[in-house]
Structure 1
Amino acid sequence: MKRAVTLTTLAAAVMTITGCGTGGSAENYPSEPITYSIPFGPGGQSDVEARRQEPMLEEILDTEVNITYKEGAGGAVGWTELVSEQGDGYFISGMNIPHIILQPMTQDDAGYETDQINPVAIFQGTPIGLAVPADSDIETLDDFIEQAETGEQMTISGSGTYSGHHLAFMQLSNLKDLDMEYVPSTGAAESIQNFLGGNTDAIFANSNDLVKYKEDMNILAIGAEETFEALPDVPTFQEEGADFTASIDRGVAVPPDTDEEIIQTLEDAFLEIANDESVQEEMVNEGFEPVSMGREETQEHIDELKSEYEETMRELGEIE
């Protein structure tokens, strides 16, 4: 009996060292299917990009990639799950900025902290624009502001709470102390459906949705820093006298204790896809901004924005 126990213990030790059956070794990573979790519902920007990446990731990493969804609380449910997972490289998650910064900053218990989100790369950006229905009497941002100042309370659809859309709403509201109500949804796809279904007066939408549904809406302004290539006739908020920009960066992250070699493997794979010319062309045609930021640059980007958002949230009265 003692000999059997000893042999079993030895076999387990060998499996741990070699990574056989555990999936935890960086040396043979990846040797099992990878779960790619999207913290929003199907059909949104994060899902669209993950589906584009899926076959390419499987080819580069030589393993199966399974896309799953963990929606709720503007992505917070998914990121709470992310930080509790094992750091073996077999669970990765979509990552959205400014969400992962604003939620822990403004909520007592977001379920995770920004520093727990272990970034791998950023591969996509979408400026956020404000739009009204195509048959609306509102033709310009000034018209919109005037109606919000003098008319009944206006409702604006957006994806998530303390997200890029919510931040744009707060910044616009703060400019003129406008009477508006933010109507959050579980994701961009639901937000668009609410707006197109006539359930809200306006929408803060991502650039690719603005491009896709531009015939069904009048886009008043966009949060890009300069003229957005896919919508050259749409002015920026700054050009319309509203001094702010609005955008969402999307990338991928892993649990806090993930091995550096595993992160490097994933970073290389995602950047190979991000730098693929055909992928970039598809993204531009769809209204996305192609981005290619590795782990270190992404972390620096997050740290810089965290400082900026702390100041912004204080000015908006969201934090002390």
Structure 2
Amino acid sequence: MKEDNENIHTNNIEQKYVPYTLAAVITSPIIGWILVKEKGYNFSELGTFGDFLGGSTVPLLTFITILLLIRTIRIQNNQLEIQNNQLEIQNNQLVIQKDEYTLLRKEMEDTKKALQEQGKTARMQRYENSFFIQINELRNIKKELEEGEHYSFHPGGKVPYKNVMEHTYKRIREMAFEDMVDYNLIHKLEEKSPAFLHEYGKLYDRAYSHWISDADDFNPFSTYHFIIERIVILIFHYKDVMDKWELKYYKDFLYEEISSEGINMVLLHLIMRSKERLKVKELKLDDYISPYNNPDFNRALFDFLLKGSQEW
């Protein structure tokens, strides 16, 4: 406001005095000419007048020059101020654009996360539907495993699932060790050595095949292992979609369905017969192995099998 008042004051001075000064400067030669030519004044006598006139007009012209210089400076200052204001406006616009871009990018990231969450939710819904369908099939086949007439070790009636798994695994192990004795491998090879574990694995696999083929009439073990294999493949396929706690939840859920009595036999079947060693290893399903009656041997056996071999 103060600057505006100063500008108005300067403009008033210029408008008031500059025209008169210019008129005096323009008319002074004409007046001198009239005095000399028309009135007959001696030019030499006008020297004093000329000095007076020069001395009078120079300060006026100097004053006008100063006023014009002041005005020029003020105009330049105004222009600089206008430029500064424009630069400030441009900077503010750039800041606003930056903020808008930041908000837009955040919105895009939020949208991306929302879409990813929606995609994960949809995939997890499909997974859960498939998982529990397989679990129901597993429960149904477990009921068939409990039918005692399928096994020579029970005279009839219903056998609890855990008893079936415990007896089956125990009998297969016994058959494998009996073959180790028959082939004189127990004394030739150091227990838990790679050669010993390799031979035991082959004999265990053969004993399992004999057990299945010797079952009375109908044996649902093949279907049982096939269903578990599908569940393990399903978990493996969706493991990257799950959080750690979700993955552990479904692995624990499956383990509870299999039971500690059946887990070793199931894992051996997955590794040796289903050729799913890498899935068992990556999902760390060997963390669930049961110590049974020889914890050190069981651990050594699974460590050996999970390293891989030409046969498994």
TM-score normalised over the length of structure 1: 0.24
Q: Which has the higher contact order (CA 8 A, sep 6+)?
A: 1
TM-score normalised over the length of structure 2: 0.24
Choose between structure 1 and 2: higher helix proportion. 2
Q: Whose radius of gyration is greater, 1 or 2?
A: 2
Choose between structure 1 and 2: higher strand proportion. 1
